[in-house]
Structure 1
Amino acid sequence: MTRIFLSLTRRHRPLPLIIQASSARNASTSPRPQNRLPAAYYRGGTSRAIIFRQQDLPKDRTEWGSIFRGAIGSPDPNGRQLDGLGGGISSLSKVCVVGPSAHPDADVDYTFAAIGVKDPDVDYSSNCGNMTSAIGPFAVDNGMVECGNGQATIRIHNTNTGKLIHSTFPVVAGEAVANGDFAIDGVSGLAAKIELAFINPAGSKTGKLLPTGNVADVFDGVKATCIDAGNPCVFIEAFDDIEGIILPDEFDAHPSLLLRLESIRRQASVAMGLSNDEASTPGSIPKIAMVSKPKAHTLLSGELVDEGVTDLVVRALSVGQPHRAIPITVALAVAAAANIEGSTVKRCVSSGRVDPNGITLGHPTGKIMVGAEFDERGHLAHATVFRTARRLMDGIVYWK
């Protein structure tokens, strides 16, 4: 028997070309190198995602889907994504792409993809507000934008919505600062504060703040407000038989709640012009959330919070799953709806605000304040949230 030994040093081993999606699906079981690409892994707010530089991906975007699924570990019928970097829930099954921008008012372009956990969906229909907080730091860390020491503001053009976001955070020695004294609910520890200013967030996908032309519509006998600010959203008041302070595990355990909410969401999608019929409704939008008046309630941590610390309680879904905090874009839409008379949100908001600078929303892991500025017509012209983010790793991501 003849044995052949190959010796390769990491320094001289070239990166192989990307295997086409169709080739990967039909590949034999014969030995071959794994596919690989430069990538980074960041936490942004209460989410995590793989971030690619656009220059490292194929120019043909139809080839991106197989790369994203392979790197994340989808689809996984077990719902765990153990063969990739996903975490088995929607907030941990995400990919971002960052590159130079041709937009005159932006420094970088940012494209977001929500990756199905159990299904092969790669959904570009919406933005992720939480991961937006990682895009400025990624751009600085990767030398896409030159910044001196001190506060830096990176102008981000989100290609999913066509909207601009200004991200402001501290920089030292050409790197986004990670340590600090700011905390967000749902993430342990302290970190550097990142200010996200969403510029004119209304009409992100439909071009209108109220896509149906109505402040309130009725789906399955339930009054709903359909609004497009940050992302298209549908807000209903908590049902009589279900408390608005319900936690994510209770959503999952309820025999019919998720199906009921999904039916309303799909009908709203058609009414908002996001899909031609219920069957073609995107997985990511519209987002749907239940809202209710402030009430003392227990968080996922077991901590009991008083009624007086929030202006409104929100329970949101993301890609069919109960969100363990709140999507930032949902928080923006809530802030917009809270200023519209007759909306389901306005009916539930406390009369006196906890913080005069904005609206304080309660979610399963705590609360978040959204600073909001409205124009003379009462439309949301500018919204601000504060998050944290940091680089967890960078290097090479592999997929089969």
Structure 2
Amino acid sequence: MTQTAIPFWFMRGGTSRGPYFLRSDLPEDLETLARVLVAAIGSGHPLNIDGIGGGNAVTTKVAMLSRSKDSNADIDYFFAQVGVEDGQVDFKPTCGNILSGVGPAAIEMGLVKPRGETTAIRIRAVNTGALIEAKVQTPGDNIRYDGVARIDGVPGRAAPVGLQFMGTVGGATGAFLPTGNRIDVFDDVEVTCMDVAMPMVIARAQDLGLTGYETVTELNDNKALFSRIETVRRLAGEAMGMGDVSKSVTPKFGLLAAPRAGGTIATRYFMPWTAHPTMAVTGAQCLASCVLTPGTVAEGLCSAPSESPATIVLEHPSGSIDVVVDFERDRRDITIRSAGLVRTARLLARGDVMIPPGVI
């Protein structure tokens, strides 16, 4: 039997990378699709040695694109998080870093035609229903990858990709505060459960015996920490109406501490079973919203801006990330209207990924 060749574009999006596919080139039913993605990535081995994954959760992500039937969008972006070693595929979350590459990939695939110096592309995140506008540099109707923008966690500089997120509140749970509370207590740990771009469980680092400034290696080596985080995360997931989350990467987990490098607040983000080397774009929006909301676990750790739009600078293990949040506040109530970030992306390779016989 012969292998099956599936065209793909291999791209770095923000601080993540992975294959971008045309949705029409992949199986429709999710069970078969999951088998194909596991084979393509090489899930089941810590190095993904029999696939094109990179042995880390930020390099086992997949984007699947198609022209949108939604009148408000140009492109539908369907995301999958493939497990590094467990052979599992999670279709529940989305990924904002991989989203950074969706605009350029859509042009590379011929789904969108460049329009002038900057091409604005409206993207619907299929997994969450959020709408995002991506602005891609296209001088001379060609995608520009080189430029002067720099993001922490990626070497060098590149052309900026502007992202404006809209309709991100309650995408997974239907509510800004899924438990109805600004602070809950699970396993004796105070947390804020929030759903903005990504459902998250957010705690103070000090409440878990940490400074909040630990390196990724120090965090990943702390097995007792991950056991505690998982206990809290599962209890919180139930309370957020997400059911049994033991096999889902959502809700994600975040830690907060007072800033120490000139930012608004120090953060650590978990995927959730390993620490993120930088910061997720979706998680950044949720953490920034937590900072702006009175009465959450962020209160007392930093000085939150009062005027909208506000730039929230999140310190992370590799530097920082800026989130510009447009919001409306009425006393202690807050409404998040949109959030904007600047990322970069680059096409790394393109061709066919080979799927072993018997998978499809």
User: Which bracket does the TM-score occupy, shorter chain normalised?
Assistant: over 0.9
Cα offset, 1:286, TM superposition: 0.3
CA distance in 1 between partners of 2:115 and 2:304 (Å): 44
TM-aligned CA distance change 1:203 to 1:351, over 3 Å: closer
Match of 2:293 in 1: 340
| 1:164-183 aligned within 5 A | 164-183=131-150
Counterpart amino acid of 2:343?
Answer: R
Return 5+ residue gaps in structure 2 as ranges: none
> Equivalent residue of 1:321, what SS?
coil
Summarize the alignment of residues 289-328 of structure 1 with structure 2, pairs less than 5 Å apart: 289-295=254-260, 307=261, 309-328=262-281
Q: Is it true that 1:215 corresponds to 2:182 in the alignment? A: yes
**SS across alignment from 1:375:** strand
Aligned counterpart for 2:224 among listed residues 243, 256, 268? 256
User: Which segments of structure 1 move beyond 6 Å, counting only runs of 4 or more?
Assistant: none
Q: Which digits, 9 at most, give the CA deviation of each residue in 1:268-327, with x for residues without a partner?
A: 10000011x4xx4442210101100012xxxxxxxxxxx3x2110101101411100011
**Higher alpha-carbon Rg:** 1
Residue 336 (structure 1) shift: 1.2
Contact 1:283 1:319 in 2 (8 A): no
In structure 2, what is the equivalent of residue 17 of structure 1? none
The correspondence for 1:63, drawn from 3, 15, 32, is: 32
User: How many residues matched?
Assistant: 351
Code of the aligned partner of 1:368: I
Whether the aligned pair in 2 keeps the contact of 1:293 and 1:350 (CA below 8 Å) is no
Question: Could you list the per-position Cα deviations for residues 56-100 of structure 1 after superposition, in whole angstroms to 9, with x for gaps in the alignment?
Answer: 112333311111011100111xx1111111111100011110001
| Alpha-carbon spacing, 1:374–1:55, altered in 2? closer, same or farther (3 Å) | same
Identity of aligned residues (%): 35
Deviation at 1:173, TM superposition (A): 4.5
Q: Report the CA distance shift for 1:209/1:249 in structure 2 as closer, same or farther (over 3 A).
A: same
Secondary structure of 2:220's counterpart equals helix
Counterpart for residue 372 of structure 1? 325
CA contact (8 A) 1:141 1:174 kept: no
State the partner residue of 1:189.
156
**CA 1:59/1:254 → structure 2, altered by over 3 Å: closer, same or farther?**
closer
Q: Tell me if the contact between 2:206 and 2:257 (Cα under 8 Å) persists in the aligned partners.
A: no
Whole-Å separation in 1 of the counterparts to 2:42 and 2:259 = 39
The SS at the match of 1:70 is helix
**Cα offset, 1:357, TM superposition:** 4.0
Equivalent of 2:249 in 284, 297, 305: 284
More relative contact order, 1 or 2 (CA 8 Å, 6+ apart): 2
Output the amino acid matched with 2:224: S
Task: Tell me if the contact between 2:310 and 2:326 (Cα under 8 Å) persists in the aligned partners.
Answer: no
Matched-pair contact (CA < 8 Å) for 1:294–1:350 = no
Give the 3 Å change call, closer, same or farther, for CA 164–282 of structure 1 in structure 2. Answer: farther
1:231-270 deviations in whole A, cap 9, x for unaligned?
A: 1001100135321001111012224011111111111100
1:109 is aligned with what amino acid?
D
CA contact (8 A) 1:209 1:229 kept: yes
What is the alpha-carbon distance in structure 2 between the residues aligned to residue 63 and residue 348 of structure 1?
A: 47
Q: 1:225 pairs with 192, 195, 199, which one?
A: 192
Instruction: Deviation per CA, 1:349-384: give whole Å up to 9, x if none.
Output: 23579x984100000000011000003552111100
Amino acid at match of 1:55: S
What amino acid is aligned across from residue 166 of structure 2 in structure 1? Answer: I
Contact conserved, 1:312 with 1:360, CA < 8 A, in 2? yes
Q: SS at the partner of 2:101?
A: helix
On the 8 A contact 1:274/1:281 being kept in 2, the answer is no
Q: C-alpha separation between the residues in 1 aligned to 2:140 and 2:49? A: 36
User: SS at the partner of 2:213?
Assistant: coil
What is the RMSD computed on CA atoms of the aligned residues?
1.6
| 1:1-80 matches, cutoff 5 A | 32-76=1-45, 79-80=46-47
Task: Tell me if structure 2 keeps the 8 A contact 1:140–1:174.
Answer: no
Task: Note if 1:148 corresponds to 2:115.
Answer: yes
- Contact map agreement 1:291 1:345 (CA 8 A) in 2: yes
Shift of 1:391: 0.8
Residues 309 and 327 of structure 2 are in contact (CA less than 8 Å); yes or no, is this contact kept in structure 1? no
Q: Deviations over 1:123-168 (max 9, x none)?
A: 0110101001000111111111122331111000011001101001
Q: Where does the alignment leave 5 or more consecutive residues of structure 1 unmatched? A: 1-31, 296-306
The code of the aligned residue for 1:133 comes to: S
1:371 is aligned with what amino acid?
A: V
Q: Distance in 2 between matches of 1:190 and 1:59?
A: 38
Superposed displacement of residue 176, structure 1: 2.1
* Distance in structure 1 (CA, Å) of the matches to 2:142 and 2:286: 32
Partner residue, 2:344: 388
Residue 379 of structure 1 aligns with an amino acid whose one-letter code is T
Equivalent residue for 1:244? 212
SS in structure 2 of the partner of residue 137 of structure 1: helix
The 1:42–1:238 alpha-carbon spacing in structure 2 relative to 1, beyond 3 Å, is same
Query: Residue 55 of structure 1: CA displacement?
Result: 1.4
